[in-house]
Amino acid sequence: MLEIENKYPVTDFPRLEKALAKLGAQPAVDRQDADHYFNAPDRDFAQTDEAFRIRRIGTHNHVTYKGPKIDRETKTRKEIEVPFAGGDEAAAKMIDLFTHLGYRPVAVVRKRRRTLELEREGFDLEICLDEVEQVGTFAEIEIVAEEKRFEAAKAVIQKLAVELGLGATERRSYLQMQLSN
């Protein structure tokens, strides 16, 4: 499966939420995320355009690997996410395990994320309104789809962005933006 997404700088969440409501978007969840990023002992993920992290959503924990972007217009990449035991102790033990295996902590990206769900042209979209500490405010439009549906999913995302009046995309990750500050 591919994670097909675009990210857009946003300064007016209320306007965007009203536009999404008119299109039938349904609020899903508000949450606090803390993404603990690591670099590998055998390669530099900044050079290979990969990402490896522990994502903490409240007490829920996930390990995520993101492969290199496969497209110049979107942030599309293979994503593998695996949940593991919840809570602070499990997260601390996983961080300790990765460190002992040679993975180096890079940074923690913290954000408040408000998600909305919308169905368009046979795709389930997730729209995330993110307030990212040290970085700014953004909207992400995402579809998870099979590789054979990549072009169709990309077109749906781009069409919705135009309808919502979103401007230029931001291809850098929140981690890249945070590290450049």
Give the residue numbers annotated as catalytic, written as ranges: 37
Strands 60-66 and 51-57: antiparallel
Is residue 151 classed exposed, middle or buried when 0-12, 13-18 and 19+ CB atoms within 10 A define those classes? exposed
Judged by phi (left if over 0) then psi (alpha if -120 to 50, else beta), residue 36 lies in beta
Helix (H) or strand (E) holding 15: helix 13-22
Q: Which amino acid is at 65?
A: Y
Whole-angstrom CA distances from 89 to 86, 92, 93, 103, 158 are 8, 5, 6, 19, 41
By CB atoms closer than 10 A (0-12, 13-18, 19+), residue 121 is exposed
DSSP conformational letter for 73: S
